[in-house]
Structure 1
Amino acid sequence: MNIVIVIDSLVGGGAEKVMLTLAQEMVSKAHNVTILSLAQNIEYDIPNTLSVESLFSGRATKVDRFWQIKKNVKVLETWFEQKLLQLGSIDLVLSNLDRSNNLLAKSKIENIHFVVHNSVNAELARQKKLGPFSYLYLKRSKQNLNGKSLICVSKGVEEEIRQSPLITPSAMTTIYNPFNFKIMNEQANEVNINIPTSPYLIHVGRFAKQKRHDVLFAAFAKLDKKYKLVLLCNKKEKAFKLAKQYGIENQLIVPGFEQNPYNWIKQAKALVLSSDFEGLPTVLIEAIAIGTPVVSTNCNFGPNEILTEELSKYLVPTEQSDLLAKAIEDVLIDSPDMKKATILKKVSADAVADQYLAMAR
């Protein structure tokens, strides 16, 4: 089959990584995959087996604004028309993130499924704090999904949409994010001389309000001072500025974006997620798959679908730094066997790719 994956950019984010993993697995099954990035921003190393094209020069921050959207929808449709002439057919189109969704939702392109990577309600609540224009833009973006076929990355996200009047999709299903365990474990064993030899905890994620680094830092400040805290994130200066407020700046290590985060995660004593909301936090599953203990806020959505049975004791309420610190202390003492986690059976790249391929007409 011929598959096109459309996404805002290929910067170092979770949705971007998920789609790269999915594309690689589809290619390994002898399908033809093109990733269309609206922007030219690419941080990930792209395997030779993948075809990546950019639609617009530079960043894509305003491609879906009302004064440009008609013109840019036409640019998108023209790209698809040329691709259709080249390939003969396009069997499946996957749209990811708001700008891509906004263009594709207003286009005449067929066979589109829109992948919902986050809690819609939580995104809107966060955006409301940024002012009425930001909120209205995001609300309209979500409403553009009305009458569309949605793929949710967790059952929590699907259930939220079903219970809310905001979006009425034509169809909706849940498909968990794909993980290539073989590649992850190979990369986890790669030598990296920059990884500290002293004991450390790790947090992987953008330096954004959603990720609640303030809660993470407040919890970390309560722990034994022998530990370092590694952040694999952007905005290094902002991270150190906030860390200073909690007196932990001398324990902080911020190497920035890493093409291979797995060897950093494997050598950590534990990985901590402190978010207010997620869709399906990829990094929790990655850590579990390579055997690193995890602690997470029980945010909407995903963590309680990942940390089940005996691992559920390492879930804590959001915004509770004291409880987060206690759970980190517990997991460091317990050192649980993460490889027994039942989620691992549900997220293999092979099985997930088959589910996506079954969506094709």
Structure 2
Amino acid sequence: MSLKRIAIVINSLSGGGAEKVMLTLAKGLQAKGHEPHLLVLERAVEHAVPADIPVHFCFADDDRNLDSFWKLGASAAKLKQFISQLQQHVGSFDLFLSNLHQTNLLMTRTGVAPLYCVVHNSMNEELKRQRKLGPFAWLDMWRAHKALDGQHLVAVSEGVADELRHSRRITPASVTTIYNPFELDEIRQLAQQPVSELPAGDYMIHVGRFARQKRHDVLFAALAKMQHDIPLVLLCSNRKKALKAVRKFGLEQRVIVPGFQQNPFPWIKRAKVLMLSSDYEGLPTVLIEALAVGTPVVSTLCKHGPKEILSGYLAQWLVPRRDPQALAAKLDVVLEQSPDVSDADILDKVTLDAIVERYLALIPAD
């Protein structure tokens, strides 16, 4: 295939899973001789970005509320102009990949093509969550969902794809399932790097944003019900907020909060178990990363993704959502058994080369 120029558009490069996934995809595209460009709405960067992958910040530092009711049209017009000027400088893009709600709201109004919106989470579950926060929060999420109507979509799991195809709110132009890409060999190499801050003894680990979706309250409640009392390490980007919650639950002596780590893999590899307590996901990358380095996992059976990752004999490590007792019991079992998880079926389905080819196949034939 001749060189293809791909625009990966995203809210920011902060420490989230979608950002990490797209950075991995960009590296994979570049390794195959293509030209990925990262188009970023906000100047928030926590992940390590390779110096040879171009990053373009689309808006000025003082631009705020880009997707608000009163600024959405102007923001989309400004983004369209930015992309037009960028293409005059670097050449036309063969594919646009839009990620996350704010970016989707803007990109679907620019008229660029071919455009695919990558859906990283369960929209239905997000709407349910926002409804509890009030009508304005729900309306913002509803707008993000409606922006996908008539669009070409990439779902990161079969569960998300099925939800999109049967949605009563939107009718997508197409839905394609493409799992998130993983550089498995690189993950295993990075996991060998020394880290001076690692706890001296055994510990459990949770990796993810400190957000309602992740249900740290369920996680903390499970800690209090466990027979084992080894500490829990939280790797998250909002350390201040996490520490406040730890104090609220009286777990200062049990929970360690180092904060976001650009290389979390040594932490994951040395953990006795990685846990996921979320209400919903798309395809939770941390579960696959843990399996890649041989760390056992326990996850809530949330929508969507975990049951596609923990299939076959690994399904025994799935527990009901919002059930601290079940989570605690399963964590105790894992700590007793230390199961071998290195031959998980999912690892053969998410290799970087295979996923890159799936994305390249979205580009229309010349």
Alignment-mate amino acid for residue 102 of structure 1: L
2:245 is matched with which residue? 242
| Cα shift readout 1:193-235 (whole Å, capped 9, x = no counterpart) | 1001111000001111110001111111222454011000133
2:318 is matched with which residue? 315
| Cα shift readout 1:248-301 (whole Å, capped 9, x = no counterpart) | 221111000101000000000000000000011010000000110000000000
1:175 corresponds to 2:184: no
Contact 1:112 1:149 (8 Å CA) reproduced: yes
2:129 aligns with one of 126, 130, 146: 126
Contact 1:38 1:60 (8 Å CA) reproduced: no
Unaligned runs of 5+ in 1: none
Report the number of matched residues: 361
Which secondary structure state, in structure 2, belongs to the residue aligned with residue 114 of structure 1?
Answer: strand
Alignment-mate amino acid for residue 315 of structure 2: S
Deviation of 1:98 after TM superposition, in Å, equals 0.8
1:351 aligns with one of 351, 354, 357: 354
Range 41-50 or range 283-292, more displaced: 41-50
1:52 corresponds to 2:55: yes
Unaligned runs of 5+ in 2: none
CA distance in 1, matches of 2:28, 2:121: 23
| Cα shift readout 1:65-107 (whole Å, capped 9, x = no counterpart) | 1221222112111122122223332111000001110111111
2:202 aligns with one of 196, 199, 202: 199
Label 1:2 to 1:149 Cα distance change in 2 as closer, same or farther (>3 A).
same
1:253 is matched with which residue? 256
CA distance in 1, matches of 2:66, 2:57: 13
Tell me the TM-score normalised to structure 2 length.
0.96
Contact 1:35 1:52 (8 Å CA) reproduced: yes
1:23 is matched with which residue? 26
1:212 is matched with which residue? 215
After superposition, the CA RMSD in angstroms is 1.3
Alignment-mate amino acid for residue 192 of structure 1: V
Range 213-222 or range 298-307, more displaced: 213-222
CA distance in 1, matches of 2:303, 2:126: 11
1:156 corresponds to 2:162: no
Once the two structures are superposed, the pairs formed by residues 1-361 of structure 1 within 5 Å of their partners are 1-58=4-61, 62-224=65-227, 226-361=229-364
CA distance in 1, matches of 2:124, 2:49: 33
CA distance in 2, matches of 1:197, 1:14: 28
Deviation of 1:12 after TM superposition, in Å, equals 0.2
Which secondary structure state, in structure 1, belongs to the residue aligned with residue 342 of structure 2?
Answer: helix
CA distance in 2, matches of 1:226, 1:200: 9
Deviation of 1:175 after TM superposition, in Å, equals 0.2
Contact 1:221 1:247 (8 Å CA) reproduced: no
Contact 2:164 2:175 (8 Å CA) reproduced: no
CA distance in 2, matches of 1:327, 1:356: 37
Range 242-251 or range 88-97, more displaced: 242-251
TM superposition outliers: structure 1 runs of 4+ over 3 Å: 58-61, 244-247
Which secondary structure state, in structure 2, belongs to the residue aligned with residue 173 of structure 1?
Answer: strand
Tell me the TM-score normalised to structure 1 length.
0.97
